[in-house]
Amino acid sequence: MLGRILLGCAVVVAIALAVLTGPAQSQREGWDSQRVRMVRQQIEARGVRDPRVLEAMRTVRREQFVPESIRTYAASDSPLPIGFEQTISQPYIVAYMTEMLALDSDHRVLEIGTGSGYQTAVLATLCDHVYSIEIVPELAERSAKILQELDYRNVSVRLGDGYLGWPEHAPYDRIIVTAAPPQLPQALVDQLATQGRLVAPVGRNPDAQKIVLVTKDARGNVRQQDQLPVRFVPMVRGTDRR
């Protein structure tokens, strides 16, 4: 008799668990397969090859960084609005810029323009530590919270003006800028380590921006190469927002 009651209880608990976790589980699997497709169709198809970058793009849960109201578009081939007139970048651009950085697991990285925190999470998956600066207080707060909830521990997000960099932790092995300044900010070039790489969209006119790759050799000589034409939100000056 007791055995039957216990069995009955176990069945009830199992059904309750299946009802509660089932939809969440299959939703999670749905997102996972959307990201696998996103990487194949949008990113590999356009020539990104670094297997570590591709794996990071498959595993970082992009949908968690997108506002809930537009979450169904999380894997689409375009930038998406994240509020405050800012956008989360198109997945391909995130992968392209990340590949161009050529990250190693021991690198310390400075990111300008935390935004949604998505690019931050991709970087954090591939390096030792990410220092990220965001100028919009609400976005800095929101992205820091999401990154913490998703257990990214090697990330520091700070509210501040990216034109100044983050001198306290310089020099950085890698620097990535995800808003477009009219010219390369000298403070960032100064905060780049020797043998370092900096990737940034540069240009005042949104129709004439280019991704720029800056490399610094062992002697500190700086070289700049123009890459892909792009369209990013402008990198604003600290004083613009007061």
The residues of the shown chain that bind ligand SAH, judged by CB under 6 A, are 86-89, 112-113, 115-116, 118-119, 133-136, 139, 161-163, 178-179, 233, 235-236
The C-alpha R_g of the chain, in whole angstroms, comes to 21
Nearer to ligand SAH, 24 or 58 (CB): 58
Specify which residues 115 forms β-bridges with: none
Phi, psi of 211 (to 5 degrees): -75, 130
- CA dist 114 and 151 (Å) reads 17
Of the pair 77, 217, the CB lying nearest ligand SAH is at 77
The counts of H helices and E strands in the chain are: 6, 9
Closest CA to 70 of 56, 87, 54: 87
Is 89 a residue of the active site?
yes
The residue number with the shortest CB distance to ligand SAH is 115
Least distance in Å: CB of 58 to ligand SAH? 17
At closest approach, how far in Å is the CB of 121 from ligand SAH?
9
Nearer to ligand SAH, 54 or 140 (CB): 140
Residues in the chain: 242
Question: What is the smallest separation between the CB atom of 105 and ligand SAH, expressed in angstroms?
Answer: 21
Alpha helix stretches (DSSP H) within the chain = 2-38, 51-59, 91-101, 118-126, 137-149, 186-190
The Cα–Cα gap between 170 and 225 comes to: 23
As measured in angstroms, the least distance from the Cβ of 9 to ligand SAH is: 47
- Indicate which residue of 33, 69, 89, 156 is catalytic: 89
Of 177 and 213, which CB lies nearer to ligand SAH in the complex structure? Answer: 177
Would you please indicate which residues are annotated as catalytic (active-site) residues?
89
